[in-house]
């Protein structure tokens, strides 16, 4: 069998017309439907609701008045139930100060969530302040 390689000049003559997949991302072209991100299932949504209720009570019981003023808007899996995105609303508070207070209290809030839910591993909490 011949091991003769074609020169790049010869390859350009093979592409006479531009097709729909010319210039597209090969990862997107070869993507499989089972590798697509999945929607949150019933159990994931149930866990998010439990975490929301646990955080609501934990934030109300904090000694920091800034954390007491926060309201839990929603809890969503991001991208799975090992990490949960918590969206909080800070009414008329400095956002940078609230984020600093949340950073200090992350361990406490995670331990409160771990005691409220029945799982082997406590999910990581990622906070977003609106």
Nearest Cα residue to 88 out of 36, 42, 130, 45: 130
Return the pLDDT at 29.
75
Return the pLDDT at 116.
92
In the chain, what are the domains? 42-129 (3.30.300.20)
Q: pLDDT band for position 71 (50/70/90)?
A: very high
Q: Is the pTM of this model over 0.75?
A: no
Nearest Cα residue to 110 out of 84, 80, 73: 84
Tens of pLDDT, residue by residue over 5-64, are 655 555 555 556 656 656 667 777 788 877 776 777 888 899 999 999 999 999 998 888
Nearest Cα residue to 112 out of 56, 44, 48: 56
Return the pLDDT at 74.
94
**In what helix (H) or strand (E) does residue 106 lie, and over which residues does it extend?**
helix 95-116
């Amino acid at each position: 069998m011949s091991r003769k390689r074609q020169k790049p000049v010869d390859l350009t003559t093979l592409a006479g017309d531009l097709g729909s997949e010319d210039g597209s991302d090969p990862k997107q072209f070869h993507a499989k439907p089972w590798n697509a991100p999945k929607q949150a299932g019933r159990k994931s949504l149930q866990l998010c609701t439990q975490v929301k209720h646990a955080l609501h009570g934990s934030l109300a019981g904090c000694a920091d008045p800034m954390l007491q003023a926060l309201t839990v808007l929603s809890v969503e899996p991001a991208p799975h139930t090992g990490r949960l995105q918590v969206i909080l609303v800070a009414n008329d508070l400095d956002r940078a100060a609230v984020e600093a207070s949340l950073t200090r209290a992350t361990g406490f809030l995670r331990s409160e969530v771990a005691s409220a839910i029945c799982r082997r591993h406590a999910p990581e909490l990622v906070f977003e302040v609106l």
